Amino acid sequence: MKFSLENKTAIITGGGSGIGQAICQTFAEMGAIVHILDMNEAEGASTANDIAENNGAAFFHKCDVSKYDDVDKVIKQVAIESGIDILINNAGIGFIGNIENTNEEDMDRLYNVNVKGVFNCIKAVIPYLKEKNGGVIINMASIASTVGLSDRFAYSMSKGAVLTMTYSVAKDYLDSNIRCNSISPARVHTALVDGFIQKNYPGKEKEMFEKLSKTQPIGRMGKPNEIANLALYLCSDEASFVTGTDFPIDGGFIKLNS
Protein backbone atom coordinates (compact mmCIF):
# COMPACT_ATOMS: atom_id res chain seq x y z
CA MET A 1 0.00 0.00 0.00
CA LYS A 2 1.35 3.40 -0.96
CA PHE A 3 2.22 5.86 1.81
CA SER A 4 2.16 3.12 4.43
CA LEU A 5 3.89 3.84 7.74
CA GLU A 6 3.58 0.29 9.06
CA ASN A 7 6.24 -0.61 11.63
CA LYS A 8 7.42 3.00 11.87
CA THR A 9 7.51 5.10 15.02
CA ALA A 10 6.71 8.81 14.79
CA ILE A 11 7.26 11.51 17.38
CA ILE A 12 4.90 14.46 16.84
CA THR A 13 5.19 17.62 18.92
CA GLY A 14 2.12 19.74 19.56
CA GLY A 15 0.03 16.73 18.63
CA GLY A 16 -2.88 17.42 20.94
CA SER A 17 -4.77 19.81 18.69
CA GLY A 18 -5.02 21.45 15.28
CA ILE A 19 -2.53 20.46 12.60
CA GLY A 20 -0.56 18.29 15.01
CA GLN A 21 -3.64 16.31 15.96
CA ALA A 22 -4.51 15.74 12.30
CA ILE A 23 -0.97 14.48 11.64
CA CYS A 24 -1.19 12.09 14.60
CA GLN A 25 -4.52 10.70 13.40
CA THR A 26 -3.40 10.37 9.78
CA PHE A 27 -0.13 8.67 10.67
CA ALA A 28 -1.86 6.25 13.02
CA GLU A 29 -4.38 5.37 10.29
CA MET A 30 -1.45 4.51 8.03
CA GLY A 31 0.06 2.16 10.59
CA ALA A 32 2.55 4.29 12.52
CA ILE A 33 3.13 4.04 16.25
CA VAL A 34 2.53 7.65 17.30
CA HIS A 35 4.10 9.40 20.27
CA ILE A 36 2.42 12.72 21.07
CA LEU A 37 4.45 15.41 22.83
CA ASP A 38 2.37 18.27 24.17
CA MET A 39 2.12 20.57 27.16
CA ASN A 40 -1.68 20.30 27.24
CA GLU A 41 -2.29 17.08 29.10
CA ALA A 42 -6.03 16.94 28.43
CA GLU A 43 -5.72 17.47 24.67
CA GLY A 44 -2.71 15.20 24.24
CA ALA A 45 -4.26 12.34 26.19
CA SER A 46 -7.58 12.80 24.38
CA THR A 47 -5.90 12.53 20.97
CA ALA A 48 -4.04 9.38 22.04
CA ASN A 49 -7.27 7.84 23.39
CA ASP A 50 -9.19 8.66 20.21
CA ILE A 51 -6.52 6.96 18.12
CA ALA A 52 -6.55 3.89 20.38
CA GLU A 53 -10.35 3.67 20.11
CA ASN A 54 -9.92 3.50 16.33
CA ASN A 55 -7.47 0.60 16.64
CA GLY A 56 -4.38 2.76 16.27
CA ALA A 57 -1.28 2.94 18.45
CA ALA A 58 -0.64 6.24 20.23
CA PHE A 59 1.02 7.34 23.45
CA PHE A 60 0.98 10.74 25.14
CA HIS A 61 3.98 12.37 26.83
CA LYS A 62 3.67 15.68 28.62
CA CYS A 63 6.72 17.60 27.44
CA ASP A 64 7.92 21.19 27.26
CA VAL A 65 9.87 21.32 24.00
CA SER A 66 11.65 24.49 25.11
CA LYS A 67 13.50 22.48 27.78
CA TYR A 68 16.16 20.13 26.43
CA ASP A 69 16.17 17.85 29.48
CA ASP A 70 12.41 17.23 29.10
CA VAL A 71 12.77 16.49 25.39
CA ASP A 72 15.82 14.27 25.79
CA LYS A 73 14.16 12.20 28.50
CA VAL A 74 11.07 11.48 26.39
CA ILE A 75 12.97 10.78 23.19
CA LYS A 76 15.38 8.47 24.98
CA GLN A 77 12.43 6.54 26.42
CA VAL A 78 10.78 6.19 23.00
CA ALA A 79 14.05 5.15 21.35
CA ILE A 80 14.62 2.40 23.92
CA GLU A 81 11.06 1.08 23.67
CA SER A 82 10.51 1.10 19.91
CA GLY A 83 13.19 3.04 18.07
CA ILE A 84 12.45 6.25 16.15
CA ASP A 85 11.83 6.68 12.43
CA ILE A 86 10.09 10.05 12.13
CA LEU A 87 10.16 13.38 13.94
CA ILE A 88 7.51 16.03 13.24
CA ASN A 89 8.39 19.40 14.78
CA ASN A 90 4.90 20.88 14.83
CA ALA A 91 4.71 22.59 18.24
CA GLY A 92 4.66 26.36 17.93
CA ILE A 93 3.07 29.56 19.15
CA GLY A 94 2.05 32.78 17.42
CA PHE A 95 2.35 36.48 18.14
CA ILE A 96 0.90 39.56 16.47
CA GLY A 97 2.92 42.77 16.38
CA ASN A 98 5.58 44.76 14.56
CA ILE A 99 9.00 45.46 16.08
CA GLU A 100 7.77 48.51 17.99
CA ASN A 101 5.14 46.63 19.94
CA THR A 102 7.21 43.46 20.38
CA ASN A 103 9.12 43.43 23.65
CA GLU A 104 12.03 41.33 24.83
CA GLU A 105 9.77 38.88 26.65
CA ASP A 106 7.74 38.31 23.50
CA MET A 107 10.89 37.59 21.50
CA ASP A 108 12.20 35.20 24.13
CA ARG A 109 8.88 33.33 24.30
CA LEU A 110 8.69 32.87 20.52
CA TYR A 111 12.35 31.87 20.33
CA ASN A 112 12.10 29.35 23.16
CA VAL A 113 9.21 27.42 21.64
CA ASN A 114 9.44 27.95 17.88
CA VAL A 115 13.22 27.92 17.47
CA LYS A 116 14.79 26.33 20.51
CA GLY A 117 12.01 23.74 20.63
CA VAL A 118 12.85 22.58 17.11
CA PHE A 119 16.57 22.60 17.93
CA ASN A 120 16.01 20.56 21.11
CA CYS A 121 13.98 17.88 19.36
CA ILE A 122 16.32 17.50 16.40
CA LYS A 123 19.39 17.42 18.62
CA ALA A 124 17.87 14.71 20.82
CA VAL A 125 16.67 12.56 17.89
CA ILE A 126 19.68 12.76 15.54
CA PRO A 127 21.90 10.22 17.39
CA TYR A 128 19.18 7.55 17.16
CA LEU A 129 18.51 8.21 13.47
CA LYS A 130 22.25 8.09 12.75
CA GLU A 131 22.54 4.80 14.64
CA LYS A 132 19.90 3.17 12.43
CA ASN A 133 21.23 4.97 9.33
CA GLY A 134 18.00 6.63 8.30
CA GLY A 135 14.93 8.59 9.24
CA VAL A 136 12.77 11.59 8.40
CA ILE A 137 12.46 14.99 10.04
CA ILE A 138 9.67 17.41 9.13
CA ASN A 139 9.70 20.96 10.49
CA MET A 140 6.57 23.08 10.45
CA ALA A 141 7.61 26.39 8.95
CA SER A 142 5.18 28.97 7.51
CA ILE A 143 4.58 31.28 4.61
CA ALA A 144 6.01 33.83 7.08
CA SER A 145 9.37 32.10 6.58
CA THR A 146 9.69 33.53 3.08
CA VAL A 147 7.07 36.29 2.64
CA GLY A 148 6.78 39.58 4.50
CA LEU A 149 3.58 39.69 6.57
CA SER A 150 2.28 42.72 8.43
CA ASP A 151 2.51 42.61 12.23
CA ARG A 152 4.30 39.28 12.40
CA PHE A 153 7.82 40.41 13.30
CA ALA A 154 8.66 37.89 16.04
CA TYR A 155 6.71 35.07 14.44
CA SER A 156 8.43 35.60 11.08
CA MET A 157 11.80 35.63 12.82
CA SER A 158 11.10 32.28 14.42
CA LYS A 159 9.72 30.61 11.30
CA GLY A 160 12.59 31.92 9.19
CA ALA A 161 14.90 30.13 11.59
CA VAL A 162 12.90 26.92 11.22
CA LEU A 163 13.34 27.08 7.44
CA THR A 164 17.10 27.57 7.55
CA MET A 165 17.54 24.90 10.22
CA THR A 166 15.78 22.55 7.82
CA TYR A 167 18.27 23.26 5.04
CA SER A 168 21.23 22.89 7.38
CA VAL A 169 20.14 19.57 8.87
CA ALA A 170 19.29 18.17 5.43
CA LYS A 171 22.79 19.04 4.19
CA ASP A 172 24.68 17.79 7.23
CA TYR A 173 23.05 14.35 7.39
CA LEU A 174 22.88 13.24 3.78
CA ASP A 175 25.44 10.53 4.49
CA SER A 176 23.30 9.22 7.34
CA ASN A 177 20.25 8.82 5.09
CA ILE A 178 18.29 11.30 7.19
CA ARG A 179 15.87 13.34 5.14
CA CYS A 180 14.79 16.74 6.44
CA ASN A 181 12.10 18.92 4.86
CA SER A 182 9.75 21.67 5.98
CA ILE A 183 6.10 22.49 5.37
CA SER A 184 4.94 26.11 5.07
CA PRO A 185 1.19 26.49 5.51
CA ALA A 186 -0.79 29.66 4.98
CA ARG A 187 -3.77 30.21 7.29
CA VAL A 188 -5.31 26.91 8.38
CA HIS A 189 -8.74 26.65 9.99
CA THR A 190 -8.20 25.41 13.52
CA ALA A 191 -9.74 26.12 16.92
CA LEU A 192 -7.02 28.74 17.43
CA VAL A 193 -8.33 30.73 14.47
CA ASP A 194 -11.89 30.56 15.79
CA GLY A 195 -10.72 31.65 19.23
CA PHE A 196 -8.75 34.56 17.79
CA ILE A 197 -11.77 35.80 15.85
CA GLN A 198 -14.13 35.45 18.82
CA LYS A 199 -11.74 37.31 21.11
CA ASN A 200 -10.88 40.18 18.79
CA TYR A 201 -14.03 40.57 16.69
CA PRO A 202 -17.04 39.78 18.90
CA GLY A 203 -20.26 40.00 16.94
CA LYS A 204 -18.40 40.01 13.63
CA GLU A 205 -17.18 36.42 13.62
CA LYS A 206 -18.74 35.41 10.29
CA GLU A 207 -17.57 38.57 8.52
CA MET A 208 -14.00 38.23 9.78
CA PHE A 209 -13.85 34.51 9.02
CA GLU A 210 -14.77 35.25 5.40
CA LYS A 211 -12.27 38.12 5.24
CA LEU A 212 -9.43 35.98 6.58
CA SER A 213 -10.39 33.11 4.29
CA LYS A 214 -10.13 35.35 1.25
CA THR A 215 -6.53 36.33 2.03
CA GLN A 216 -5.70 33.00 0.34
CA PRO A 217 -6.16 33.36 -3.44
CA ILE A 218 -7.96 30.02 -3.52
CA GLY A 219 -10.67 31.66 -1.40
CA ARG A 220 -10.58 29.58 1.77
CA MET A 221 -8.37 28.51 4.65
CA GLY A 222 -6.52 25.24 4.61
CA LYS A 223 -7.75 22.20 6.52
CA PRO A 224 -5.58 20.42 9.10
CA ASN A 225 -5.96 17.09 7.29
CA GLU A 226 -4.59 18.66 4.09
CA ILE A 227 -1.38 19.55 5.93
CA ALA A 228 -1.34 16.08 7.47
CA ASN A 229 -1.60 14.43 4.05
CA LEU A 230 1.42 16.38 2.81
CA ALA A 231 3.36 15.35 5.93
CA LEU A 232 2.35 11.75 5.28
CA TYR A 233 3.76 11.82 1.77
CA LEU A 234 7.03 13.41 2.90
CA CYS A 235 7.50 10.78 5.61
CA SER A 236 6.64 7.83 3.39
CA ASP A 237 9.05 5.73 1.37
CA GLU A 238 7.46 7.21 -1.76
CA ALA A 239 9.28 10.48 -0.91
CA SER A 240 12.70 8.83 -0.55
CA PHE A 241 14.23 11.22 -3.13
CA VAL A 242 12.99 14.35 -1.35
CA THR A 243 15.16 16.26 1.11
CA GLY A 244 16.28 19.80 1.86
CA THR A 245 13.09 21.33 0.49
CA ASP A 246 10.35 23.61 1.80
CA PHE A 247 6.80 22.79 0.71
CA PRO A 248 4.34 25.69 0.70
CA ILE A 249 0.73 24.59 1.13
CA ASP A 250 -0.92 27.97 0.92
CA GLY A 251 -3.83 28.19 -1.48
CA GLY A 252 -1.63 30.18 -3.84
CA PHE A 253 -0.64 32.82 -1.26
CA ILE A 254 3.08 33.08 -2.04
CA LYS A 255 2.93 33.07 -5.83
CA LEU A 256 -0.54 34.44 -6.62
CA ASN A 257 -1.05 37.23 -4.08
CA SER A 258 0.86 39.99 -5.88
SS (H, E, C) the chain: CCCCCCCCEEEEECCCCHHHHHHHHHHHHCCCEEEEEECCHHHHHHHHHHHHHCCCEEEEEECCCCCHHHHHHHHHHHHHHHCCCEEEECCCCCCCECCCCCCHHHHHHHHHHHHHHHHHHHHHHHHHHHHHCCEEEEEECCHHHCCCCCCEHHHHHHHHHHHHHHHHHHHHCHHHCEEEEEEEECCECCHHHHHHHHHHCCCCHHHHHHHHHCCCCCCCCECHHHHHHHHHHHHCHHHCCCCCCEEEECCCHHHHCC
Instruction: Choose the catalytic residue: 68, 155, 173, 233.
Output: 155
Positive or negative, the Cα torsion across 173, 70, 55, 29?
negative
The CA–CA distances, whole Å, from 203 to 28, 61, 194 equal 39, 38, 13
Catalytic residue list contains 173? no
Report the alpha-carbon distance of residue 199 to residue 189 in Å, rounded: 16
Cα radius of gyration (the chain): 18
Active site members? 155
